[in-house]
Amino acid sequence: MSESGLGSPAAVSTPSRLSLFLDRAGLQGFPWVSAIVLYTISWGWLLVVGNSYWAADWEVYVIPELTTFDFGTLGLAPWINTYVLIHDIVGAFAMRMLIFLFYFLASVFLFGILKEFKFVSFWQKKFIVIFFLILPFNTAKIALMVFHYSVAYFLFFFAWYCLTLPDSFLRRALSTIAFFLSFSMHSLLFFFAIPIYLDWTIKHRLQKLTFLQWIKRNLFFLSLPLLYLVLRNNFWPETISYHNLSKVSVVMPFVILVVPGFLFLVYSLSNRDSAKSRSNERKMISFGLATILLGLLPYILHGFFKLNSRLPLDYLTVLFGRTSWYTRHQTLQPLGAGFFLFGLISLTKSNKRLLNADYLASGAIFACLILNLGFGLEHKVDYEKQKRVVQSLKSVGHSDLLVNYVFIDQATSINARGQVMYERAWSGLIWQAYGLGEATTIKIGTNCSVGQRSRLVLIQGPETQWQALKNWVRDRDMGFKVTIDDTPGACKPEMVTAERVFGAIPILFYFTGAKN
């Protein structure tokens, strides 16, 4: 009976169907185990602080009564408003689970996309996907205020993946809709050039289409960015200078970056002499550089990155330094950086005088894990400090006689990525302790000039994240001390001694507390 059962078609139908599905979908061979393990080690801390709120999360998702600022003035896509409703239904932790899932699924779609890259071997595809997942870009994804980046990122790679599937009306419709919705992250309007260019090269190679024939067949699809801009300018325009997509001058950065970058890319990818030594690796490096530049272009246009000799240093400072939520401006970097980095590593595979490529790849992966864990430690420590403030406020209790709160934070050196706790964040912690009424009526100060009837909240703690971690391992307490004093004159000017370090890349890793 057992032999008959094991040998029956029904016993093997499920794995064979799964294998067939993955093969048809172009996903056969995706490194599921290593990808899940390494990704979870790198970014699992998002769930460790899953119920936290940061930066503008308080104003957007929790207590919009904290601000009179109208986020509708930013020109953001109207479907972003649904994300607030999602938060109200499922909460912060579930939304971070979605963020965690969206970025992982983007890597699955990328693996399917890579089947169109003939100059990338199967071995290289796996490593590129791993780097795409764990390169330490965009730690700002922890903040719910950029949840729409996560959704747009997922939709963009899903749309691009659909573009590589066998042609059908459903496939084209899904790709078109997903691309259009992804443009709510405005930098993807520029990044759209990459799947467009690759779609043209594939159609030209397989269907022998001329460039004009391809344009005629894909005219509506090619006009999606323009359609988004037209709709934005007429139905959800910005009323303050935020992204300002319709007015910014693009001529000079286009000439300086896009034209040379893509000419270099076209030249590299059109070089069909694969017999030349390391030709494919050069193509990977070329594609990576072009993609890095295109991912930076919108942020150069809007002045965040300056187009000068300091650009490489500014790039590294945002990646590794105390730059608060600015890492969101590098959301599109993992694709190009993954190609570029692994292209360099792959060059060593055919040169025995250099280090072994496998060792270099493993070392790079280990470095990414260390950095990501360090960033996670920062956010965990920062979140514990915030929770200690809430606990201390609750233990003391609310007083109807108070009209002002003075927060003196002497532990700012360990704020995650050097973030600043603005009034909205302190009001959010008061909301967690005492409710909406207190949070919206009280006045917040961070020095001793707030006035009478004030409550002093003095926050002290370890100087580094590592010290906080050692305290926790030894005492199950990170070592934060919160003193609350309602005595008039309790706040002294000399208490305001904490130095904010912003934009620095310290010796070793900046989460050690080193200044430079």
Q: What is the pLDDT of residues 276-315, one digit of tens each?
A: 546 788 889 888 988 998 899 888 888 888 888 889 999 9
Residue whose C-alpha is closest to residue 264's, from 288, 290, 245, 238: 290
DSSP state of 59: I
pLDDT of residue 513: 58
| Helix extents (H) in 186-257 | 188-191, 193-207, 211-217, 219-222, 224-235, 251-253
pTM of the entire structure?
A: 0.90
Amino acid at 102: F
Distances (CA, A) of 252 to 115, 255, 302, 386: 35, 5, 13, 45
Q: Residue 12 has what pLDDT?
A: 47
Position 11 scores a pLDDT of: 47
Specify the 3-state DSSP secondary structure of 215. Answer: helix
405: phi > 0 → left, psi -120 to 50 → alpha, else beta; which?
Answer: beta
Q: How long a stretch of residues is the chain?
A: 516
pLDDT of 1 = 41
Parallel, antiparallel or unpaired: strands 481-485 and 454-460: antiparallel
Q: For residue range 122-143, what is the model confidence (pLDDT) as tens digits?
A: 888 999 999 999 999 999 999 9
Give the pLDDT of residue 149: 96
pLDDT score recorded for residue 461: 94
Greatest CA separation for the chain: 87
> 25-42 as b/e, with b when 16 or more CB fall inside 10 Å?
bbbbebbeeebeebbeeb
CA 460 – CA 495 distance, rounded (Å): 10
| Phi (first) and psi of residue 459, to 5 degrees | -115, 125
Q: Could you give the C-alpha distances from 27 to 18, 33, 286, 412, in angstroms and in order?
A: 11, 14, 25, 46
Task: Supply the pLDDT for residue 162.
Answer: 94
The list of the chain residues with pLDDT below 50 reads: 1-13, 246-250, 273-275, 277, 516
Contact 338, 132 (CB under 8 A): yes
pLDDT at 77: 92
End-to-end CA distance of the chain: 72
